[in-house]
Each structure stands twice: as structure tokens, then as C-alpha cells.
Amino acid sequence: MVALVQRKLEEENVEEAIALHCIIHQQALCSKCQRFDNVMSVVVKCINHIRSRGLKHRQFRAFLDEIESEYEDVLYFTEVRWLSRGNVLTRFFELKAEVKAFMEKDGMAVPVLSDPKWLMDLAFLVDITQELNVEVTRTRTRSYKARGSLMQGTHGCGHIGEKYADAIMKLQEEFDRRFADFKTHRATFQIFADPFSFEVQDAPPVLQMELIDLQCNSKLKAKFREPNVSQLCERKRCQVSGSKE
């Protein structure tokens, strides 16, 4: 489709279209740098043990019901649906005590579930993957950079703090590399993100007259500033995110 659009624009002798890789796919590639195999291998092993056998799975659900757990089950993890990683890790973290007790009861003790350092790695990975499940913006990647700098500069955080700071900075480098095209066109995106605050002289000449007309329309400006408009946009983003999942 992109090729057809570009060809048509060339035929019409108009400005070339901007083609960008899918933002969700780019997020997935960035997330690959945060492997933490020591965490994922244990999580996947436990989940597979519980869910790959029908009897074990039913026993685990019955166990959760018996101890009146807030949740009824662990979520199944698959590499293909990368967005599931954050949800799976969050649920596993919230059920870590129940998983530990069930595995021990089943004769499959998992010592790292009692290891504070491993649990810190798990908690860190939960936070990072949940952040990656949020729509990526330049502000979001700037926040990673700020967090990394803060963690590196914190006194007393020691080796563990440096470890997580390095992981965040590595993620920032991935975002900077993979989202370079988005940064190049940031001004263009901003026209549509908030057209009423955009400086007309900074807009492409072909849009300037329309932008002036739009900014002089007080009714449209009031509508754009209404809280329910931003809430509607947020709901639409959630629906899109859910459909991708």
C-alpha cells in the first residue's frame, strides 16, 4: 500500500509521503534488549508446569480458590504476542507467593522465589514491560533517560542500582536508534497533536492558511479543549492497544 501511495504522489507531482515502520513493531524490537533471561526462564518454567498439564492447571486453580486468592489463574505466555509479556509478569509477580507454595507442594521447589535479588529483577522487569505496553511517545523515551541518569547519580544504590540504570539507558539507546525517523518528523506530528497551539510559521506552507482558519475558530478550539475530547482519545488508544493484543 505504501508503494502504491508513493507512486500515485509521484504521478501527481506532489510532496513525497512520510513512511514509518509500525510503532508497535518498533516497541517490540526495543523490548528485546531487556531480556533478563534469569527472570523469564523461571517464570516460563513455572507457568508451563502449571498450565501445560490439564490436571496441574485445575489443581492450581483449586489451590487459588482454596486460599481465597484475588486471582483465579496465571496467564499463559507466548513470545509471538509480545504485549502479553507485561501482563504475564504482572500477574506472576502478584501471585508469586501462591506459585511458590504450589510448586513446593508439587515437589518442584523454586529457590529463587525466595531470593530478594531475583525478586528485585522480577519487579524491575514488571515495571519496564508495563511501561512498554503504553503508547510510546518522545516524552516517554525522555522519561527513561531521566530515570537512568537519576539512578546512576543516586548515592548508595551500589551495584544493583547501576545494573538497572544501565538497563534503562540501554533501552533509551534502542529507542533513540529505532525511533530516529519519528524524531525527524516530530514537528509534523505536533500539528495534529495540538493544532491550536502550533506556530503557523513553523507549519508547511501548504497547511498554513488552513491552520490560521482553524485557530481562529473559537468554537472548534473550545471543543478541542473539552476534557471529554481527551478522554475519548485515550479510550480510542486503549481500544487500539487491546485489538493489537
4-32 pLDDT, tens digit per residue, is 988 898 888 887 777 776 665 555 655 56
Residue at a domain's end among 142, 164, 183: 183
What's residue 15's pLDDT?
Answer: 77
Q: What is the pLDDT of residues 211-223, one digit of tens each?
A: 999 999 999 888 8
d(CA 89, CA 39): 10
113 and 193 assigned to the same domain:
no
The cell for 152 is 546512576
80 and 196 assigned to the same domain:
no
Which among 88, 64, 68, 67 is positioned nearest to 76, based on CA atoms?
88
Residue at a domain's end among 165, 183, 201: 183
41 and 147 assigned to the same domain:
yes
Which among 27, 242, 212, 234 is positioned nearest to 129, based on CA atoms?
27
Q: Which amino acid is at 179?
A: F
How many domains are contained in the chain?
Answer: 2
198 and 129 assigned to the same domain:
no
What is the total residue count of the chain?
A: 245
Q: What is the pLDDT of residues 141-173, one digit of tens each?
A: 455 555 455 444 444 445 557 888 888 888 778
SS3 of residue 49 by DSSP: helix
Say if residues 44 and 77 touch (Cβ distance below 8 Å): yes
What is the CA 73 to chain-centroid distance, rounded? 23
Q: Does residue 154 or residue 117 have the better pLDDT? A: 117
Which among 95, 180, 103, 89 is positioned nearest to 133, based on CA atoms?
89
28 and 16 assigned to the same domain:
no
110 and 218 assigned to the same domain:
no
Residue at a domain's end among 183, 211, 231: 183
171 and 57 assigned to the same domain:
yes
**Which pTM was predicted?**
0.54
213 and 142 assigned to the same domain:
no
83 and 9 assigned to the same domain:
no
125 and 190 assigned to the same domain:
no
149 and 38 assigned to the same domain:
yes
Residue 170 belongs to domain spanning: 23-183
DSSP code, position 185:
T
177 and 201 assigned to the same domain:
no
